[in-house]
């Protein structure tokens, strides 16, 4: 049974109490049809058996802002779920390519005309257009959901100007070196 959960900036502490402690002393170690499992006292890293059989789990974590939400990232988690792509980032990428196509084809005459059509500022249009020229490593990370948790649409469209050089973009956005662009299938 859960006794306490403490969330700190870089760690979560979870204290569990064996269910047998919650039962009256004359009750057996069963609840309904289930037998109460007792925690192991040693051998599990990040687990400490405390007083009266309490088990305290310590998990290293990072709390990161991602748009309006705070994301909890477990350090070295072998049971982590598959990454989930950020739809707002993908939408911003798609918008960038559509807008660049409108400008390059002459369907729209200028950034000012595009901003007026979309009801946004020239500066916003310029920042979104920059996304049409992101490094392939960054685009792949966004499409696969493996971008850093701090990388979101707001950071890309309202943040500082990105470098033109792809490696400069990768460094500025903190995309891990282990992420490589997807290989295209041979034709």
pTM greater than 0.85 (yes/no): no
Local structure of 173: helix, strand or coil: helix
pLDDT tens-digit series, residues 77-132? 444 455 678 899 999 999 999 999 999 999 999 999 999 999 999 999 998 999 99
Considering only CA atoms, give the Rg of the chain. 25
**Residue 183, CB-side half-sphere exposure with 13 Å CA sphere:** 3
């Amino acid at each position: 049974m859960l006794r306490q959960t403490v969330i700190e900036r870089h760690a979560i502490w979870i204290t569990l109490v064996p269910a047998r402690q919650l039962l009256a002393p004359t009750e057996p170690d069963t609840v309904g049809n289930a037998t109460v499992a007792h925690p192991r006292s040693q051998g599990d890293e990040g687990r400490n058996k405390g007083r009266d059989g309490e088990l305290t789990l310590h998990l290293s974590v990072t709390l990161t802002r991602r748009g309006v939400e705070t994301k909890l990232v477990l350090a070295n988690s072998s049971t982590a779920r598959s990454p989930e792509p950020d739809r707002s980032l993908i939408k911003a990428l798609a918008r960038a390519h559509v807008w660049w196509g409108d400008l390059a084809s002459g369907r729209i005459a200028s950034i000012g005309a595009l901003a007026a059509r979309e009801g946004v500022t020239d500066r916003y249009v310029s920042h979104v257009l920059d996304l049409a020229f992101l490094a392939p490593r960054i685009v792949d990370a966004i499409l696969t959901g493996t971008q850093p948790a701090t990388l979101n649409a707001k950071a890309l469209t309202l943040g500082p100007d990105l470098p033109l050089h792809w490696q400069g973009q990768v460094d500025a956005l903190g995309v891990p070196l282990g992420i490589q662009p997807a290989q295209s299938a041979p034709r």
